């Protein structure tokens, strides 16, 4: 049945409140994810903002998905990849272990720089998988949906990423992560 | 292990440099949605300007009959809405809980909207000419004007858009939905908000002028929607407007009401009025004639459609030449109602559409049956031609 009158208004108010809460919660997660993925906070904020604009435009649709957060991250990573394709120097930026001066972020510590450098050294799919799983805290199922690959593939990417991070000395030796099978 | 990895990534991730401005995000999303609307609106506005800014709804106006409508007959007030009553004006209407009564300006009877405003002009969304005011925030407002001193031949004044000309004598009964009243609407353009400056809003909006009579009183409602978000804003605005209940004014108050039975426009001697009849076939024929006239791109086809077309053919063609072929192709029409008044006459309400959108709604016209064939009256066509400053030659 088509809703009308006050129901529409009430529904919209609820939707608006949900949308505002979602944006506030996702904003730091998206900026963090993008900054880890791209190594640049300004660009990360631009892409996170563009992502949330798209969330706003499609909120009625997004809010009914099983994981609005996964939807947003999927958009963000797609935007990041599109941006990378447009930027001729992007590929070189990604593999550079030492950030340029303009990539430095206010308040950066040596530890943060080392972490970003280590994450930046990961192959793209491993970097995306580990960020989605262990920074954005998405379940394996949602990571697989975002990356459009089987869950076991995600687990493999995560396991290999961990192995590389251990080599960098940033991650202690230890048992595989619980998802790190397959 | 998973916590350790989580902590590691947390240490490397950048925190946002500032909080997210959700309102700015929403505005940007809305603006993109309406960019296409703005482009189309600009085209329509340009066309209206070319036309001369007017579709004249003039008619032979020998009589005036403004039907009355007792207070309380209007649309049911939705639950949770607040009712606003203006006892002095004998008006009341309902607004959603998030709306408020807004300070008035000039001769506004009342203004309501989504937020109160410091007033220094009549509300608009298209620029800010002298005497007008652009709301500083997105939202919807309705200003109601009443005109009590108009004569039957007077045109109802409008604050926005001079393109709609409605004589008091042409105002029919208040429709249940005021979207069916005589109205004009337009919208203003949009631009892309730069990603780096989401708080800068360059988007316009739309406005509607609705002219109607109720309880013997003449009103103009101006709906202004800044940065509309889909059709919901328009729907709510009309819900508010449709909730308006109008009581009759006290006898001492001058009104435009003219008592007396309504009569038809003067009829040509070729078709004397007879007893009213109603025939479905007749109505279909009348609709066909009007649609053929409004939709016709073939100028040579008017002879059998318009009464005494030969006498006004030159004027009609002159009017058509004011438009480009491309624009002419976008004009169509719609017949809103047909009321057969006798065996050879009918009152018709029609709407002029441009590119499928109503530009002028519920325009009054007449049909006449000559030699067994329903045709659009010469006066109906001539009235429309007046929008381009064209006057038909007098009848022979």
Predicted ipTM of the assembly: 0.79
**What contacts A1, CB < 8 A, 6 or more positions away?**
none
B367 confidence band (pLDDT: 50, 70, 90) = very high
> CB-based contact (8 Å) between A120 and chain B?
no
Quick check: B166 and B147 in contact, CB under 8 A?
A: no
Q: Is pLDDT above 80 for B38?
A: no
Range with lowest mean pLDDT among B18-27, B45-54, B75-84, B357-366? B45-54
Chain B residue numbers with beta carbons less than 8 Å from the beta carbon of A52 are 20, 25
Q: Which of A38-47, B40-49, B205-214, B365-374 has the lowest mean pLDDT?
A: B40-49
pLDDT of A84-142, one tens digit each?
654 544 444 443 433 444 455 555 677 788 888 889 889 989 999 999 999 999 999 99
Residue B365 phi/psi, 5-degree rounding, is -150, 180
Confidence of residue B37 (pLDDT cuts 50, 70, 90): very low
Do the chains contact at A48 and B236, CB–CB below 8 Å?
no
Q: Note whether A134 contacts B2, CB cutoff 8 Å.
A: yes
- Report the distance separating Cα B296 and Cα B293, nearest Å: 5
Question: Which chain A residues touch B9 with a CB distance below 8 Å?
Answer: 32, 36, 115, 119, 130-131, 134-135
In this structure, the number of other CB atoms found within 10 A of the CB of residue B271 comes to: 17
More confidently predicted of A62 and B255:
A62
Q: Binning pLDDT at 50, 70 and 90, where does residue B283 land? A: confident
Q: What is the pLDDT of residue B378?
A: 92
pLDDT computed for residue B276 by the predictor:
38
Minimal-distance CA residue of chain B relative to A165: B5
More confident residue, B327 or A74: A74
Would you call A5 and B22 a contact, using CB atoms and an 8 Å cutoff? no
The predicted structure's pLDDT at residue B141: 93
Residue B190 vs residues A37, A68, B141, B224, B245: alpha-carbon distances, Å: 34, 29, 19, 16, 35
pLDDT of residue A105: 56
The verdict on a CB contact (< 8 Å) between B4 and A165 is: no
Span B373-386, mean pLDDT? Answer: 88
Three-state DSSP class for residue B190: coil
Chain B interface, Cβ < 8 Å to A: 1-2, 4-6, 8-17, 19-20, 22, 25-26, 28-29, 32-33, 78-81, 96-98, 195-196, 198, 232, 235-236, 239
Alpha-carbon distance A164 to nearest alpha carbon in chain B (angstroms) = 12
In this predicted structure, the answer to whether residue B252 has a pLDDT above a threshold of 70 is no
Reported as a single tens digit per residue, the pLDDT across A21-38 is: 999 999 999 999 999 998
Residue B119 in tokens:
């007033």
152-171 in A: which are within 8 Å (CB) of B? 162, 165, 170-171
Are residues B174 and B23 in contact, defined by beta-carbon separation less than 8 angstroms?
no
HEC string of B18-40 equals CCCCHHHHHHHHHHHHHHHHHHH
- For chain A, the average pLDDT equals 77
B100-102, strands of its sheet edge to edge: B100-102, B110-113, B139-147, B217-226, B205-214, B182-187
| Chain A residues with beta carbon closer than 8 angstroms to that of B20 | 23-24, 27, 49, 52
Distance (Å, whole) CA B123 – CA B132 = 6
The 10 Å CB-count burial string (b at 16+, else e) for B12-37 is bbbebeeebbbebbbbbbbbbbbbeb
Q: Which of A2, A5, A105, A132 to mutate to test the interface with B (most CBs of B within 10 A)?
A: A5
How much is the pTM? 0.38
Of the partner residues A13, A49, A174, the one whose CB lies closest to the CB of residue B1: A174
Touching B: A residues 17-46, CB under 8 Å: 19-20, 23-24, 27-28, 31-33, 35-36, 41, 44-46
Cβ distance of B232 and A8 shorter than 8 Å? yes
Average the pLDDT over each of A59-68, B106-115, B212-221, B382-391 and give the range with the smallest value: B382-391
Query: What is the model's pLDDT at position A30?
Result: 95
Q: Count of A–B CB contacts within 8 Å? A: 125
Q: What is the pLDDT of residues B117-158, one digit of tens each?
A: 888 888 887 766 777 888 877 789 999 998 887 888 788 887
A95 alpha carbon, distance to own chain's centre:
18
- Specify the pLDDT at position A101: 44
CB A145 within 8 Å of CB A70: yes
Distance from C-alpha of A149 to C-alpha of A33, rounded to nearest angstrom = 19
Please give the structure tokens belonging to residue B22: 């959700």
Search chain B and give the residue with CA nearest A33.
B13
Contact A115 B29 (CB under 8 A): no
């Amino acid at each position: 049945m088509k809703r009308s009158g006050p129901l529409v208004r009430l529904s919209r108010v609820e939707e608006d409140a949900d949308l505002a809460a979602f944006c506030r919660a996702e904003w730091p997660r998206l900026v963090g994810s993008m900054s880890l993925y791209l190594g640049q906070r300004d660009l990360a904020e631009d892409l996170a903002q563009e992502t949330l604009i798209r969330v706003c435009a499609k909120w009625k649709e997004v809010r009914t998905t099983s994981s609005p957060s996964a939807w947003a991250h999927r958009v963000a990573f797609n935007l990041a990849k599109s941006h990378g394709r447009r930027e001729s120097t992007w590929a070189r930026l990604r593999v550079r272990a030492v950030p340029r001066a303009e990539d430095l972020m206010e308040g950066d510590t040596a530890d943060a720089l080392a972490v970003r450098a280590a994450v930046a050294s990961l192959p793209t799919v491993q970097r995306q998988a580990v960020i989605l799983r262990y920074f954005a805290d998405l379940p394996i199922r949602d990571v697989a949906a975002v990356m459009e690959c089987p869950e076991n593939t995600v687990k493999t990417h995560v396991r290999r990423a961990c192995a590389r991070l251990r080599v960098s000395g940033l991650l202690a030796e230890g048992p595989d992560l619980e998802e790190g099978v397959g | 292990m998973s916590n350790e990895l989580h902590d590691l990534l947390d240490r490397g991730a950048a925190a946002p440099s500032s909080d997210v401005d959700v309102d700015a995000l929403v505005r940007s999303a809305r603006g993109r949605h309406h960019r296409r609307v703005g482009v189309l609106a600009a085209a329509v506005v340009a066309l209206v300007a070319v036309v001369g800014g007017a579709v004249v709804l003039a008619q032979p106006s020998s009589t005036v009959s403004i039907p009355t409508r007792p207070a309380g007959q209007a649309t049911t007030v939705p639950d949770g809405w607040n009712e606003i009553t203006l006892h002095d004006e004998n008006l009341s209407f309902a607004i959603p809980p998030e709306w408020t009564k807004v300070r008035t300006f000039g001769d506004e009877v009342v203004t309501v909207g989504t937020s109160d405003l410091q007033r220094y002009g009549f509300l608009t969304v298209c620029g800010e000419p002298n005497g007008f005011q652009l709301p500083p925030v997105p939202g919807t407002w309705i200003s109601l004007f009443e005109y009590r001193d108009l004569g039957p031949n007077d045109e109802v004044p409008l604050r926005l858009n001079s393109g709609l000309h409605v004589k008091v004598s042409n105002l029919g009964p208040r429709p249940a939905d005021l979207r069916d009243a005589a109205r004009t609407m337009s919208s203003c353009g949009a631009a892309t908000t730069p990603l780096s400056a989401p708080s800068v809003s360059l988007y316009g909006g739309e406005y509607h002028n609705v002219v109607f009579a109720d309880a013997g009183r003449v009103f103009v409602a101006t709906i202004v929607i800044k940065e509309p978000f889909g059709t919901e804003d328009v729907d709510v605005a009309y819900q508010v407007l449709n909730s308006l209940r109008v009581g009759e004014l006290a006898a001492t108050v001058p009104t435009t009401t003219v008592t007396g039975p309504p009569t038809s426009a003067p009829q040509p001697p070729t078709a004397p009025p007879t007893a009213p009849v109603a025939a479905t076939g007749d109505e279909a024929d009348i609709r066909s004639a009007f649609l053929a006239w409004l939709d016709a791109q073939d100028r040579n086809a008017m002879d059998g459609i318009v009464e005494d077309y030969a006498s006004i053919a030159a004027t009609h063609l002159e009017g058509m030449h004011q438009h480009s072929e491309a624009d002419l192709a976008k004009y169509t029409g719609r017949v809103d109602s047909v009321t057969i008044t006798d065996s050879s006459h009918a009152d018709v309400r029609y709407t002029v559409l441009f590119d499928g959108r109503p530009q002028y709604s519920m325009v009054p016209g007449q049909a006449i049956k000559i030699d067994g064939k329903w045709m659009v009256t010469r006066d109906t066509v001539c009235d429309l031609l007046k929008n381009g400053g064209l006057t038909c030659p007098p009848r022979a």
